[in-house]
Amino acid sequence: MKKEVFLISWTDKPLMTMMWAFSNMHNSVPDTLEEFESDNTTKFGSDLGRIKSSFIKMLAANPHSSVLEFVNTNWMIRGGSRAFQQQLTRTRLAAYSIQSMRIVNVERFFEEEMFHIPERFSSDEKSAVKSEYLQAMKSAQESYCKLISLGAKVEDARGVLPLNICSPITMSINLRALSHMLETRLCNLAQDEHRLFAEKMVKEISTKLGAEFDPLFRKPCEKVGHCTMPVNCGKTQYKLDKAYENIDLDLWLKG
């Protein structure tokens, strides 16, 4: 199923709003954002663009980034599996609304390809693994439809639906929480579906809020120059963090 991400709405003048909130910590600021923006335009003139870019880079490097919470974003995510949604909703500082499969009948989810196929399965069209996976999806739909035809309610029949069935989800989240969430999910160690959605969200932010926001959304290894995880993906320089030196990692990371 096609995976789509749409940034539906966001705080008006997001960058200026954060600059206003930050300036208030050290100076007196006007009572309106319009007056604050006008003052800065007069003060910096054509150099205001560089000032804004510098401000974002400072926030990206600074752990004290509370002003990011002054900007809220609202998202529509389509084509995400329920497995992905379970991971997504671990981010607590956000609001979610997920299509209810207690109410919505999805008796044609297999024909309409409303399910996620793992990246590793899709790489080989003739793979026996992919064939078995598709058969399991088809069987789940058949069982679901049979239960409903026998009189089961949709809310009870949904119990046989696969974890990788897809449904739309909307999310409201501030930039600080979003930056942290995307940082972890952009990592090469993240599951393929979540990493794909993370990459799409970064592109949406860059397109709609502006490329100056890009420094806020980078992989952890890009921020510090090496991998920060207890295990390594093999694609970046690895440096074991001192916090892990005296920990039996195999005890906690084995499958």
Strand partners, 4: 78
Mean pLDDT over 31-55 rounds to 89
Model's pTM, two decimal places? 0.86
Is residue 227 within 8 A of residue 239, CB to CB? The reply is yes
* Tokens coding 149: 């035809």
Task: Pick the most confident of 60-64, 73-77, 119-123, 210-214.
Answer: 73-77
Helices and strands in the chain, H and E counts: 11, 4
The secondary structure of 9-23 as a DSSP string is: EE-SSHHHHHHHHHH
Mean pLDDT over 125-149 rounds to 93
Whole-angstrom distance, CA of residue 34 vs CA of residue 22: 16
pLDDT at residue 128 is higher than 90: no
Query: What pLDDT sits at residue 65?
Result: 81
pLDDT band at 125 (very low <50, low <70, confident <90, very high): low
Dmax (CA) of the chain? 73
Whole-angstrom distance, CA of residue 25 vs CA of residue 236: 38
Q: What DSSP element (H or E) covers 52?
A: helix 48-61
Among 205, 227, 230, which residue's Cα sits nearest to residue 215?
Answer: 205
- SS3 for 151-206, per residue? CCCHHHHHHHCCCCEECCEEEEEEHHHHHHHHHHHCCCCCCHHHHHHHHHHHHHHH
Tokens 């870019």, residue located: 53
Query: What pLDDT sits at residue 147?
Result: 98
Mean pLDDT over 126-134 rounds to 87
Whole-angstrom distance, CA of residue 181 vs CA of residue 80: 16
pLDDT band at 185 (very low <50, low <70, confident <90, very high): very high
Mean pLDDT over 198-222 rounds to 92
Sign of CA dihedral 163, 166, 172, 176: positive
pLDDT band at 255 (very low <50, low <70, confident <90, very high): low
Query: What pLDDT sits at residue 120?
Result: 85
Is residue 213 within 8 A of residue 171, CB to CB? The reply is no
